[in-house]
Structure 1
Amino acid sequence: MLYTFLPIAKTLSIFVKMKRLISYIIVILGIFPLIGCSTPRISSVNASSPTLLHENENINGEWEGLLTFQEGILSVKDPAFRTLQYRLVLGSSEAQVFAKNTISGVWEEAMPQLFRVSRTGSNAVLQATDSGKDEDGTWVETWIFVLTNRSTEELQVEFVRMVNNIDLPISVPGKVFSYGGSGKFVKLRGR
């Protein structure tokens, strides 16, 4: 007699578990928008439309600030390189990036003529990738700056640098490394 009720009991048990799982999913879906875990808004508006760029969101011009670096795959242990000064010169589709040499104090351009700008409204991304050869063989390096207006005179800047020494074996420290930093930049002059 007990054997005839086992399939029914298993079916009921599965049903209860499924009902509990569905209630968890409903609760999670209801909470995500409240805690900011929502999907980015997707729009069919043309990104070059002038209505997306407000007058106070113009980031063209010359900006300068300090980036404070966090540890990445290759940690930035030397305190002299934890905070570095950068200058960004932004045009509509191109950019120049300068880093201040901590020893000589001279501004040096990083990846000349390689930075490109992608923007929508108050936000922009500066990106450059380069490749070359040194004593370790071939390297590929990418720099990315993500910018947004804090005000007409201040930007919030996030930076990531990623390097791959593609000829080195994976066992060599420094074959692939990255680090990132963030900071606030002030406008030196408009463009």
Structure 2
Amino acid sequence: MPILALVSAIAFLHSTAGQGSSSLEGTWEGKLEVAYSGSSKDPASDERIKAAYAKSPFRIRINQQRASVYFGGEEVKPGLFQYQAYMTNAVIFASSAGEDRDGRWVETWNFTLTEKISDTMIACFSRVVNNLDLGETKDAGKFGLLAVGEFHRTPN
């Protein structure tokens, strides 16, 4: 029994262990529907965000232990995404910081994926942003977004 526990622990900690014949490697594309946008109390702003996500596809390239994410044809956070897979599921995430006209900000993107069938996966996307210099009274400076949909395997 201790050997089984040790093997199970090693398999869980090794990201490619137990992956079996199915693989998430390759290029995946799909549009995500915004389920929640906490970016503004302005309904028109929420509708613009939903329209942008509905119009522009996401593309994710998974190659061994690396992932690249593209939105609207442009790579997002080049070189920052980390990839963790276990069997038919994976998490792809990145955090970054910067400055704009509102001051300093920090944000995190997260994709949680699972294989539905060999060429389709279910995707849950979350994004949270904190504009550090806007203070606690400005709602628009701190927000989250949740979107869901399916990605389909595309030719490389």
* Interval containing the TM-score (normalised by the shorter chain): 0.7 to 0.9
Q: After superposition, where does 1:77-92 map in structure 2 within 5 Å?
A: 77-78=47-48, 79-83=50-54, 84-92=56-64
- 2:71 is aligned, of 95, 99, 102, to 99
Structure 1, unmatched stretches of 5+, are 1-42, 101-106
Counterpart of 1:69 in structure 2 is 34
Highest RCO, 1 vs 2 (Cα 8 Å, sep ≥ 6): 2
Deviations 1:72-130 (A, max 9, x none): 32253225225241100012221111111xxxxxx111111100101111000000001
Counterpart of 1:153 in structure 2 is 119
Q: Distance in 1 between matches of 2:33 and 2:87?
A: 26
Give 2:128's aligned amino acid: M
Give 1:135's aligned amino acid: R
More strand by share: 2
* Alignment of 1:122 onto 2:88: yes
What is the CA-CA distance between 1:167 and the residue it aligns to?
A: 1.1
**3-state SS, counterpart of residue 174 of structure 1:** helix
Structure of greater Rg: 1
Q: Distance in 1 between matches of 2:15 and 2:65?
A: 15
CA contact (8 A) 2:27 2:60 kept: yes
Deviations 1:118-160 (A, max 9, x none): 1111000000001001111110010000000001110100000
The sequence identity of aligned pairs, in percent, is 30
Counterpart of 1:59 in structure 2 is 24
CA contact (8 A) 1:63 1:88 kept: yes
Q: How many residues align?
A: 141
CA contact (8 A) 1:95 1:117 kept: yes
Structure 2, unmatched stretches of 5+, are 1-7, 41-45
CA RMSD of aligned residues (A): 1.8
> TM-score when scaled to structure 2?
0.83
